[in-house]
């Protein structure tokens, strides 16, 4: 197996709080893949979709499966698939739920930013076996998509819901203080 890595910027990873906070992803897609030729795998994929819809209704998390289920390859996706949109506030809940309940299905996870190509190519993660995806038609840059703005989540959240940089710094210092005497926790560099 060949491993590929996205190159780091010449200066190394970004560690400026403002830059990191302002450039973070606020919305995500989970693409569930299934073999159309397999009635068992197709049924598992659709049962998982229905469970996500039920759990959303019951308040477990916010996750919006697109109404369309792809019954043939669509866009960059080479198999049967469907998309689940998730705001950052529900990401960990949905990620864990899908990781624990996907069975043998593969799930492509990627952020929604202004670069669909990078989102699918180098900012992605897989649960299960990765599938080859067709990237040629994805734009390198564009507008950051805002899906389901009526929910007021993700890119459509109110600026008043945002945690200020000052509050983030204060919280970070509190964590450092609490961990200062823990021999297992690495301290932040000076």
Q: In whole angstroms, give the CA distance from residue 28 to residue 155.
A: 10
pLDDT at 23: 80
Q: Give the residue from 72, 132, 82, 77 showing the smallest Cα distance to 102.
A: 82
Mean pLDDT of the chain: 91
Query: For 70-94, how does the pLDDT look when each residue is reduced to its tens digit (9 = 90+)?
Result: 999 998 999 999 999 999 999 999 9
The predicted pLDDT at position 61 comes to 97
Question: Strands (DSSP E) along 37-187, which ranges?
Answer: 64-65, 80-87, 106-111, 125-127
Q: What pLDDT band is residue 1 in, cutting at 50, 70 and 90?
A: very low
Domains of the chain: 24-156 (3.30.70.1240)
Identify the band that residue 36 occupies on the pLDDT scale cut at 50, 70 and 90: very high
Contacts 24+ apart (CB under 8 A), 136-144: 137/75, 137/76, 138/75, 138/76, 139/115, 140/115, 141/114, 141/115, 142/114, 142/115, 142/116, 143/114, 144/112, 144/113, 144/114
pLDDT band at 8; cut points 50, 70, 90: low
* % of the chain with per-residue pLDDT over 90: 69
pLDDT of amino acid 67: 93
Distances (CA, A) of 109 to 116, 123, 131: 12, 9, 12
| Model confidence pLDDT, tens digit, residues 115-167 | 899 999 999 999 999 999 999 888 888 888 788 999 999 989 888 888 889 99
Q: What percent of the chain has pLDDT over 70?
A: 95
**Can you tell me the distance from the alpha carbon of 162 to that of 145, in angstroms, rounded to the nearest whole number?**
19
Query: Kind and range of the H or E element at 51?
Result: helix 39-58
Average pLDDT over residues 97-121: 95
Local confidence band at 10 (pLDDT 50, 70, 90 cut-offs): low
What is the pLDDT averaged over residues 158-187?
91
């Amino acid at each position: 197996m060949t491993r590929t890595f996205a190159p780091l910027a010449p200066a190394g990873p970004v560690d400026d709080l403002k830059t990191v906070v302002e450039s973070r992803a606020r919305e995500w897609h989970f693409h569930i893949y299934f073999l159309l030729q397999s009635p068992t795998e197709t049924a598992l994929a659709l049962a998982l979709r229905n469970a996500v819809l039920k759990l959303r209704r019951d308040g477990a998390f916010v996750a919006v499966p697109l109404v369309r289920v792809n019954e043939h390859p669509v866009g960059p996706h080479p198999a049967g698939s469907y998309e689940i949109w998730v705001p950052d506030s529900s990401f960990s809940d949905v990620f864990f739920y899908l990781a624990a309940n996907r069975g043998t299905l593969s799930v492509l996870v990627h952020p929604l930013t202004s670069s669909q190509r990078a989102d699918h190519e180098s900012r992605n993660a897989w649960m299960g076996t990765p599938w080859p995806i067709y990237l040629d038609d994805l734009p390198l840059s564009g507008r950051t998509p805002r899906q389901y703005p009526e929910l007021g989540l993700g890119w459509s959240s109110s600026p008043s819901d945002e945690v200020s940089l000052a509050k983030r710094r204060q919280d970070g210092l509190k964590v450092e203080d609490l961990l200062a005497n823990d021999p297992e926790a690495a301290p932040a560099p000076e």
